[in-house]
Amino acid sequence: MGRERITILDGGMGTTLECLGHSVSSELWGSELIFENPDIIQGIHQKYYEAGADLVETSTYQLTQNNLSSYLKSTSKEELSESEYERKSQGILKSAVNLVYNSIPSSSSSSSSEKKGVVFSCGPYGSTLKPGAEYSGLYPKPFGPNSRERNYFQDSEIEEEENSIEKLSEFHLSKLLNIALNEEIWKKIEWIGFETIPLLYEIKSIRRCMKKLNKILRNKYSNIENNEGNDEIWFIKKFWICSPFPDGEFPQLNSSGSNQHVPIEDVVDTLLNNSNENLGPLPNGIGINCTNPKYLLDLSKKFTFALSQKIKIGDVKLSSRPIFVLYPDGGQVYDVNTRTWSIPTNGPASSEEWSKGILQVVNDVESTKGDNSEYIWNGVIVGGCCKTSFDDIKALKRNLDDQILQ
């Protein structure tokens, strides 16, 4: 296993704030600290870099211009115009990027193996709902089906599904445009992380969103020179799409009404379907986040098999193989209604145990090769989600480095 094929991501933010004694009970889940007490947020980012993370996410998971404006209106001591609230909200999203970027250690080398990067975090539409719908995928119309009791469109609802895909693509695009049209901020971002995406049609909406975004950015930035010393188009950002697997299953049910969950084969096909250029660009990374570690080995094998089959039949070229992105939770169980965590009896007992379990999955994924002896995956990004800490990332880095030396 080559260390250059493994990138370490940071751990949880909201639950880390909670563990440090800060309230996460607001509609912004504690992210109001970006503007109310930015030193706290920046300190957490910095500690994750110091723990060994190569990539650190912004604390913008559930933030949008709308919910930021709503929060500012409810807490502001002065009355502002709608446009002023929007301008402040946009500034907060930009500040979130700067807080990560300014946390990068000054000793960070420009060499590829040591360079630190910023990931702009984008949660699903469901993260803005009360209660959150990241695990259920039950979205209201027009972002979901007519019935709030199902998270899939029936075969006869082609037009309705198309309308929801378009609405969701605009939802994600509007968030990204708050930062993408600012050259200084946009240059500081290496990845866009779409995470905890529970629905196939939201995956489709994200790819459509990225197609729209890239077109807008080509028009805006195409005449600006690349000063990075390479041939990459600097304004076209890498992005990943990850999903949660509560109880080891993708949240969306099959349209047959059989109460069966969509298989991973269909998830991977939706992520990597390249049969029509109108579908949007392929994600640079796909995988799993906010999922109990006990499900990871089985899930990752299914992801690997699905990708290997697409490579074998030529649906995915070796040159466009994605990176496998894996950042599970700490092994605890979350209740979306009470917003509390419970500890199962069979969960990892320590950071050491958690990290070694995760690395077993990473080793299996990273080393798998196809019939032509080429790696199935283009590398692995691994970190932690909710209820993971600095100690977990530190243990992950230490055990990964120890493996390389053996």
Q: Would you kindly state where each structural domain of the chain is located, as residue ranges?
A: 3-405
The predicted model gives 373-395 an average pLDDT of: 95
Query: Highest mean pLDDT: which of 111-125, 238-252, 309-323, 366-380?
Result: 238-252
| pLDDT classification of 110: cutoffs 50, 70, 90 | very low
Two tokens, residue 365:
């994924």
Question: Which one is the CATH code of 3-405: 3.40.50.720, 3.30.70.1250, 3.20.20.330, 3.30.450.30?
Answer: 3.20.20.330
| pLDDT classification of 112: cutoffs 50, 70, 90 | very low
The predicted model gives 245-255 an average pLDDT of: 95
Binding residues for Zn(2+): 290, 385-386
Distance (Å) of CA 356 to CA 127, 292, 360, 362, 392? 30, 14, 6, 10, 10
Task: Evaluate whether 228 touches 165 at the Cβ level (below 8 Å).
Answer: no
Report residue 300: phi and psi, to 5°: -65, -35
Strand pairing class (6-8; 55-57): unpaired
Report residue 130: phi and psi, to 5°: -125, 115
Integer Cα distance of 13 and 61 in angstroms: 10
Integer Cα distance of 25 and 48 in angstroms: 23
Task: Evaluate whether 370 touches 306 at the Cβ level (below 8 Å).
Answer: no
Look at residue 24 in the predicted model and tell me its pLDDT.
84
pLDDT digits (tens, 9 = 90+) for 19-68: 889 888 888 989 999 999 999 999 999 999 999 999 999 999 999 999 99
Distance from chain centroid for Cα 269: 18
Rounded CA Rg of the chain: 20
